[in-house]
Every structure is written in C-alpha cells, then in structure tokens.
Amino acid sequence: MCKQVTMVSVGAHLLHLDTLLQDIIQNNQKLKYASDRLVSLEHEEQSLSTGVELEKTHIKTLEGVLDIVQNMIDKSDNKEDSLTLDQAAEAFKELQEKFYEEYRLYELGELAVSLVAPLVKEKLSTWRPLESPTEPLNLFTQWREILQADQGALSVTQDPYHKLLWESWMPSLRITVSTWNCRVCEPLVDLIQVWIPLLPGWILDNIREQLILPRITQEVEDWNPMTDTVPIHAWIHPWLPLLGVRLETSVFPMIRHKLSKALVSWHPSDRSARLMLLPWHRVFSRGEMEAFLVKNILPKLQLALQELVINPHEQHLEQWNWVMEWKDLLPLHSLSGVLEKHFFPKWLQVLTLWLNHSPNYDEITHWYMGWKNMVSESLRAQPGIKEQFNKALELMNRAVSSGGQSGNQQPGAVESVSYLTNIEQSQLPGQRVRDRESRYELLAEAVRTASQVPQGFKELIQKRCEEQGLLFVPLTNRYREGKQIYRCGNIQLYVDRNVAFVSDNSGASWNPKSLKAVLDMAS
C-alpha cells in the first residue's frame, strides 16, 4: 500500500512538472511576442515621428504658399496698396522656384486668370492696337514664360496663359476689329502678324472666323464695283496669307457674283475691266477664273470681233486690240475658238477676194505675215489657229498655180508664195526661222502703230479717255441728228464735223465743248 502511495505521489509530481513546463513555454512565447511587439512599436513610433516631421514641413510649405497667395489676394482687394503686375510676376516666380510641387499639384497658375487678368486688362485700357501693335508684347511674352513653364500636360482649355489672353487681350482686339475700317487693312494685318507667335491656334482661329471674316464679308456685300474708287483687291489680297481658304469659300464667290453683274453692260473698249480682273488671275482658282471669263468676257469679245472690218488697204485694229489685250487672262483654247469662229472666216474671205483680182503677191505675203505676227506665239501653237493659217497658204498656192496655168501670172509670184510656204513649213531651228521672218515684223509693228493714231476727232477723244482711264463707249440705239451718242465718263456726247456736243443733265440741249472741257466734265 505504501508503494501505491509513493507512485501516486510521483505521478502527481510529474504532472506538476509538465504543467510548469507548459507555463514556461507559454511565458517564453509571450515574452517573444512582447519583444517583437516592442520592436514594431518602436518602428511605428519612428515612422510616425518621421511622418509628423514631414507633415510639419508640408504645413510649413503650405503656409509659405498660402502667405504668398494670401498676400496677392489681400493686395488685389486693397485700393491703397494694390497689387501690381511686377509684384504678381515676382510672386508667381517665387511660387514656381520655391514651391514647385505645390504649384503644379494645386494648379496655382489658375490664379493668374482671377488676379493678373484684371491688372493686364486695366493696363490695356489705353492701348491702341492699330497704332501701337507691339506696345504690350513684352508683357505677354513675360507672362507666357511664367505661366507656360512645364505646362505640357495641360490641354489648351486648361492653359492659364491661354485664359489670360482670352480674358485680358481679346476684349481689346474685339473692340478694335468692331470699329476697324476694312478698306484700310494693313494696320490690322500687321497687328495679327506681330502677335501670331504669342497666340495659340484656337484663339487665332477665333479671331479669323468670328472677328475678321464677318467684317470683310459685310464689307464685300456693301461693295459696288461700279462706283467704288478703291480696287477691292487692295484690301482683300493682304489677307490671303492669314485667311486663305476661308476667303475662297465665303468671300470670293460673292466678289465674282458682283463683278459678273457689273460686266453686264461692259464694252470691250473699256479697259478698266481688265485692270480690275488682272489682280485676281492668280488668286481665284484656275477653274473658277476660266469659267468666269468664259461667261462674262468672251461673249463681249466675240461681238467686238464681229464688228471688226478687215480692209488690207486701210486697216483699223481697235476691236482686234481690245480682244488681244485679254490673251494673258483668257484660256488659250477659248480665245483660239473665238478667233476660229469670228475672225478667220472673214479674214480668209478677204484673202480669197483679194487673190481673185490679180493681186500683188508681195503685198499679200506681207499682209499674211503682218497678221500672223499679231497673234501671240502661244496662240499660234493652238491646232485650230495653225489650221487657219495653213488654209491661207493653200489659198495662195492655188491662186498662184491657177494664175500660172492661165498665163496671167505676175512675175515672181510663184517664188514669193513658195518662199513664204517654205518658211511656214520649215523644220529649221527657231532662231533661223525668226531670222527669216524678221523682215515681216516691221510690217506687223507698222500695222499696230497705225491703229493707234487717231483718225478723227472722235478717235482723238477716245484716245485721251483711254489715257485717263475714262469710259468711252457708244450707247446702244442712241442717236442725235443721225450721229452716234457716246458715254464719256460722267457725260454723254456726240461728234459732228470734229465738234463735240455735250448733253446737259436733262438731255434737252446739247452744247459744243472743247476737248479739254469734255475731259474735265467727264472726269
């Protein structure tokens, strides 16, 4: 029994030892956890301390930013010690240099719109853009450098410099354009050209489409080509580099329409039409220009050629010269077609009649070359024109051949016509051909010169009107005592036995006037 008690006591002791061991293990784990927790808390304390220091620094930084911003706001509200542009510039530079991250993070550039724009607008209140276009240029150059520093990530609508321009510079420009005389375009063109480097694309487009183009369009609508003394190209062409396509789509069609209406009663003897259209030759598209000329000019030139009388013995070239003055503007194929239809049939008919009356073939060959040299080289290269001159050569060759067979041939006629034919059909180099043709050029020049010499008092008046740019055209179905009545500038007159009779305003009486008096009254 003693033995059993002893064993129970040992077992109890062992159990107690096991419990103590477990307690030791648990306490050890708790100690380790407490130690780890202590280290963690120490790290956390250090991290929090660092964070506190960073926050203190950040607070100090924000306080510095706030001080600068608040100082600008306070000054802007203070009428006695108000904010100046120089102070604002220094403040923004300081914000960028000392507080770059905060400047970007809080988009402090936006303050320029509310703080700087009113100051700039006030400074521009006395600015006269058309008189001093560069006056505020340095100011905006400075603020572009300040506000666009590292602004690449911002869209154009967020860019503070763009907003500053829109709020402060654009009002001055709107007022200027609204009172601008469209016919004095150079100052505004110069102004825009000077400012283009400082203007973003969307503001420049707004100026073109919303300010300038509507004013030009309205001015063109009011333009009257019959009465306005200032040529329209003088105040439209300077805008071509800036407005370009915008003019082609909105303004040019209106100009062509008005010119077309003005040309309804135009006569080819009036050279002012060509002077008006010549500046548009390279401005209108080729297709639009050709279509305009074919519609409005070509029919009048056809009528002039129909009125041309071909007389080898006394040739007057007024109508011919009226037509040839347009050779550089009209499409070659169109002018060629007019000559083929309205000139060459009469010309060939005169040649045929001449050949049927025992002509002097030297005179005929000179006459042929004289007319040919009055046709430009580019026109002579047209197939239809070549064919007409070849027909003339064929007529001369047939006439010479038939004359020889009948025995009535003029001595040397065959040689003269053969010589001319060989020149025309020769394939020799151009210089040798020109050498052979040189003897005929004097004749062509003589014909042209003779056509410019006045043949009577009416022609003298017409020549003086042309020299002074005055209109001188016959009035359709208007006669006085059987004499044609002419429109001469601002007056009406007729010529009777080298005396000019001028109508009074009512047309009831006609009074003789000297040439000088006629020209003075007409102008």
Residue matched to tokens 């203070």: 78
Contacts 24+ apart (CB under 8 A), 176-184: 176/129, 176/130, 177/207, 177/211, 177/212, 177/215, 178/215, 180/130, 180/215, 182/215, 182/216, 182/218, 182/219, 182/235, 183/219, 183/230, 183/234, 183/235, 184/235
| Rounded-to-integer distance, Cα 72 and Cα 74, Å | 5
Do 475 and 463 form a contact (C-beta atoms < 8 A)? no
In eight-state DSSP terms, residue 114 is I
Q: What does the pLDDT read at residue 421? A: 63
Q: What does the pLDDT read at residue 44? A: 83
Residue matched to tokens 């001015």: 219
Q: What does the pLDDT read at residue 365? A: 84
Q: Residue 207's closest CA among 129, 112, 285?
A: 129
pLDDT less than 70: residues of the chain: 1-8, 79-81, 149-157, 402-456, 505-507
Q: How many CA atoms lie within 13 A of 36 on its CB side?
A: 5
C-alpha pair distances (Å), 244 with each of 180, 241, 257: 20, 6, 19
Neighbours of 482 (CB within 10 A): 7
Note the Cα 156 to chain centre separation in Å. Answer: 27
Q: What does the pLDDT read at residue 67? A: 77
| Rounded-to-integer distance, Cα 255 and Cα 236, Å | 10
Contact partners, residue 503, CB within 8 Å, separation at least 6: 485, 491, 492, 493, 509, 510
Burial 342-360 (b: 16+ CB within 10 A, else e): bbbeebbeebeebbeeebe
- Rounded to 5°, the CA angle 347-352-354 comes to 95
Crossing angle for the helix pair 344-355 and 361-373, to the nearest 10 degrees: 170
- Rounded to 5°, the CA angle 407-368-274 comes to 160
Facing residues of 501 across strands?
A: 494, 512
Q: What does the pLDDT read at residue 506? A: 66
